[in-house]
Structure 1
Amino acid sequence: MNNSSYLKGILFCLIATVSWGTMFPIMTDALTHLDPFNFTTLRYGIAGLAFAVLMLAKEGKESFNLKGEKWGLAWLFGTFGFAGFGFLVFWGQHLAGPKGALTASIMMATMPMLSILTIWVLKKVRPHISTVFFILLSFSGVFLVLSNGDLYALINSPTNLTANTLIILGALCWVLYTIGGSHFPHWSPVRYTTLTTLLGMISVISIDLFLMATHSVQVPSFTSVVAVIPHLLYMAFIAGLVAVLCWNMGNRILTPTNGVLFMDIVPITAFFVSFLNNVVASNVQLIGASITVIALILNNLNQHRLIKFSKT
């Protein structure tokens, strides 16, 4: 990999993660008008159409042909990435209340560690003992953010516990989606993004229709949909079209193991945007966030040291 390609990979991942860091504060307001399930369906429905138009223009209609392709696997990863991530994370953020944006963004910073653990389980690649230490250090920081230093309140608050569990499961879904790209080496980033989005929308729409049919969520009113149009435009085209495509392009260059480390940028961006909106984290939460970011940075440096050592 030459320096030019490496820098492009970094730039793509930075664009994606800064876009996602901004989306959590934006969702705080959107979720006061529309539930996370219908919002996610509308968001990825718009983004999916945009991806389809992009791929049609760039690669032609033959790129939609899945004959002989691993379409079932693409559907599975699309379901993880768009139904799993979109529904679980924003449902958790909604349950977490006004500071849900900060909580959700911090949980996104656990993705590098979740990625290491997932690869350990799925591919039997055991992490170095130093990596395990940084995993524990990172989660100690996350714990401080979630508990705000009050273990009793965290344990005895079913809502907070449910919200945190949903968010981390959503983060795991995105890790699986990111790793999934390595199973399609002959697909361009545009094709992987487009086809997984379109196939994942089968699950998104099916789940949303089921929830409305069982009255678990309300059918959205025209007024509520109009109220979230500005949010949808950002979430569909910036945090959706641009960010997801840049993410897959960046990870194709850097590999998922290195690319996912850029998720550390998400909470930093979310903290800054939330501060501008007068949502300020407590001192304990700031300390926890700092511990998490420091642990992830040190782990990144440690990974480079281990790779360099293995080559000598």
Structure 2
Amino acid sequence: MNNSYSKGLICCLLATLSWGAMFPVMTDALQYIDPFNFTTIRYAIAGLAFALILFYMEGKKGFNLKGERWGLAWLFGTFGFAGFGFLVFLGQHMAGPSGALTASIMMATMPMLGLLTIWLLKKNRPHASTFGFILMSFAGVLLVISNGSIAEIMNSPSNLTANLLLIAGALCWVLYTVGGSYFPHWSPVRYTTMTTLLGMISVAAIDVTLVLTGYISAPSISTVSIVMPHLLYMALIAGLMAVLCWNVGNKIITATNGVLFMDVVPVTAFIVSALSGVVPTSVQLLGAGITATALILNNLNQRKLAQAKLSVPAMATSRT
């Protein structure tokens, strides 16, 4: 495995580990502030940090959108930041005390959503083995969150609206991830920064509209100060570091492989919860092991498939 591909794997892993921890963090933050204002402030901080990084690395030309597909960048930014941020955390808030676990579980739908999206948009049908590894990783996730009792999850009452919001939010992030492939000449830093800044137009417009219509109230200074630790984590770790790592990683290993790492999110969320006193059972540890194994096997398989494709033209050339 070359260093570049290893870097892509590490970047995707770091991103998903950070996102796994953000759901327990949000559980506490949502006791004091609504998900809309929180998301707006979060991405305002992250967007400023991204802009400074882009200016340092690429200068003013990095912000030049003349001749660029800025409308498409705005659309993907809206999906990634307004869509994901608002829908997922609103769904988590509606799900109640179990919202962190519920939201993180729903993120495990991203690999399958990602494959279907890429198949639809790119007309690129994934290999059958890839579907198999995704099902394997999802099975591991189910073991972790159900402790082996799938029937208990199926029979427990659930908030349909919350779950639909969470799945819609997951789809938004898949679309944002795939969107990076439409800007192959942009660096990961530029794609991250420009989609964040353009997406913030939608985030701010929605938030202001909700405040003016009385659906939510503008947060007070005291409220913001209370959730400032949560904001710093969400903006700088789960936002700045994680989103940048995610875009770097997916540019290297492709979105088809990258979205599989989203199965790390619910496992991480469970582990963070376990640190607060919930001891994992042997079944749950087995599930985490299955998910990790699926990630490793899938990436080894993708490398094997890629090498097989390269060998076919080489053999054809040697016969001519």
Q: Normalised by the shorter chain, which TM-score bucket?
A: 0.7 to 0.9
Are the structure 2 counterparts of residues 122 and 290 from structure 1 closer, same or farther at C-alpha, using a change threshold of 3 Å? same
CA distance in 2, matches of 1:40, 1:301: 37
Are the structure 2 counterparts of residues 62 and 303 from structure 1 closer, same or farther at C-alpha, using a change threshold of 3 Å? closer
Q: Is 1:214 equivalent to 2:213 in the alignment?
A: yes
Q: CA deviation at 1:179?
A: 0.9
Q: Give secondary structure in 1 for the equivalent of 2:171.
A: helix
Are the structure 2 counterparts of residues 18 and 139 from structure 1 closer, same or farther at C-alpha, using a change threshold of 3 Å? closer
Q: Give secondary structure in 2 for the equivalent of 1:109.
A: helix
Are the structure 2 counterparts of residues 52 and 284 from structure 1 closer, same or farther at C-alpha, using a change threshold of 3 Å? same
CA distance in 1, matches of 2:107, 2:50: 24
Report if aligned partners of 1:107, 1:142 keep a CA contact under 8 Å in 2. Answer: no
Q: Is 1:267 equivalent to 2:266 in the alignment?
A: yes
**One-letter identity of the residue aligned with 1:74:** A
Are the structure 2 counterparts of residues 166 and 300 from structure 1 closer, same or farther at C-alpha, using a change threshold of 3 Å? farther
**One-letter identity of the residue aligned with 1:214:** T
Are the structure 2 counterparts of residues 232 and 217 from structure 1 closer, same or farther at C-alpha, using a change threshold of 3 Å? same
Are the structure 2 counterparts of residues 280 and 76 from structure 1 closer, same or farther at C-alpha, using a change threshold of 3 Å? farther
Q: CA deviation at 1:272?
A: 0.8
* Range with greater deviation from structure 2 (26-35 or 292-301): 292-301
Figure out how many residues of one structure are paired with residues of the other and give that number: 310
CA distance in 1, matches of 2:284, 2:268: 15
CA distance in 1, matches of 2:43, 2:198: 11
Q: Which residue of 2 aligns with 1:60?
A: 59
Are the structure 2 counterparts of residues 262 and 131 from structure 1 closer, same or farther at C-alpha, using a change threshold of 3 Å? closer
Q: CA deviation at 1:157?
A: 4.7
1:53-104 residue CA offsets vs partner (Å, 9 max, x unmatched): 1111221122211111110010001001100110111111111122211221
1:142-185 residue CA offsets vs partner (Å, 9 max, x unmatched): 778889968798689562x1111111111111111111111111
Are the structure 2 counterparts of residues 151 and 196 from structure 1 closer, same or farther at C-alpha, using a change threshold of 3 Å? same
CA distance in 1, matches of 2:36, 2:146: 26
Q: Which residue of 1 aligns with 2:176?
A: 177
Report if aligned partners of 2:101, 2:266 keep a CA contact under 8 Å in 1. Answer: yes
Q: Is 1:205 equivalent to 2:204 in the alignment?
A: yes
* Range with greater deviation from structure 2 (70-79 or 110-119): 110-119
Q: Is 1:257 equivalent to 2:276 in the alignment?
A: no
* Range with greater deviation from structure 2 (164-173 or 139-148): 139-148
Q: CA deviation at 1:222?
A: 2.4
Q: CA RMSD in A?
A: 2.9
Q: Is 1:248 equivalent to 2:265 in the alignment?
A: no
Map 1:26-65 onto structure 2 (within 5 A): 26-65=25-64
CA distance in 2, matches of 1:234, 1:292: 26
Q: CA deviation at 1:112?
A: 1.8
* Range with greater deviation from structure 2 (84-93 or 142-151): 142-151
Report if aligned partners of 1:33, 1:224 keep a CA contact under 8 Å in 2. Answer: yes
Map 1:24-173 onto structure 2 (within 5 A): 24-132=23-131, 157=157, 159=159, 161-173=160-172
Q: Which residue of 1 aligns with 2:7?
A: 8
1:184-230 residue CA offsets vs partner (Å, 9 max, x unmatched): 11111111111100000000011111111222222222222111000
State the percentage of identical aligned residues: 68
Are the structure 2 counterparts of residues 283 and 89 from structure 1 closer, same or farther at C-alpha, using a change threshold of 3 Å? farther
CA distance in 2, matches of 1:235, 1:257: 26
CA distance in 2, matches of 1:200, 1:232: 18
**What TM-score, normalized by structure 2, do the two folds share?**
0.84
Q: CA deviation at 1:277?
A: 2.4
Report if aligned partners of 2:24, 2:100 keep a CA contact under 8 Å in 1. Answer: yes
Q: Give secondary structure in 2 for the equivalent of 1:67.
A: coil
Q: Give secondary structure in 1 for the equivalent of 2:97.
A: coil
CA distance in 1, matches of 2:281, 2:38: 30
Q: Give secondary structure in 2 for the equivalent of 1:99.
A: helix
CA distance in 1, matches of 2:143, 2:229: 33
**One-letter identity of the residue aligned with 2:65:** L
Q: CA deviation at 1:121?
A: 1.3
1:236-269 residue CA offsets vs partner (Å, 9 max, x unmatched): 1111111111111111222222222222222221
